[in-house]
Amino acid sequence: MDWMSIIAVCVALIVALVMVILYKKRVIDADVIAGVNQAFQDLPVVEGNGVFGKIAEYSKVAVSAVEQMVKTGKIARDDDARKDAAMQIVANAAKVDDVPFGAAEQDAASTCIEAEVQLLPRNQKPPDGE
């Protein structure tokens, strides 16, 4: 864990402790706590500068690129074809940046790709109108 992560955790704990104290003393109510909780949830997640952070970053780009290729008809709508294309994009990006991409990194990339896919909007119509 780097220093920024340690500082972020400490700040979060201090804020939580202060909020509990203020809530018990009836200075703030549950709506304020819910608002602060929502604000923390809306903060962007930073993966970091390590290998995992780079793979997570590559995975985001790969999923976006693959979805665009599906929309333009460059690859099939098949889930396996999409996953293979995304993994290839991540592998190529890792190679360009001299990031190791062994079995552990491939597992991490696979997980990151699946996570990114889950974040895609589900209300979009497929390009072929299915």
Tens of pLDDT along the chain (130 residues) come to 567 777 877 887 888 888 888 888 888 888 887 887 777 666 655 556 688 888 989 999 999 999 999 999 999 888 899 999 999 999 999 999 888 899 989 999 999 999 898 888 875 555 555 4
pLDDT of residue 32: 81
Q: Do 28 and 61 belong to one domain?
A: no
Could you tell me the residue range of the domain that residue 16 belongs to?
A: 3-42
Q: How many domains would you assign to the chain?
A: 2
- Predicted TM-score of the model (pTM): 0.59
- The answer to whether 87 touches 76, Cβ cutoff 8 Å, is no
Distance CA 103, CA 83 (A): 16
CA 67 to centroid of chain Cα atoms: 16
Q: Do 60 and 112 belong to one domain?
A: yes
Q: Do 63 and 114 belong to one domain?
A: yes
Residue 29 lies in a domain: yes
Q: Do 111 and 55 belong to one domain?
A: yes
Q: Report which residue type is found at 89.
A: I
Tokens at 45, concatenated: 């997640």
- The answer to whether 47 touches 56, Cβ cutoff 8 Å, is yes
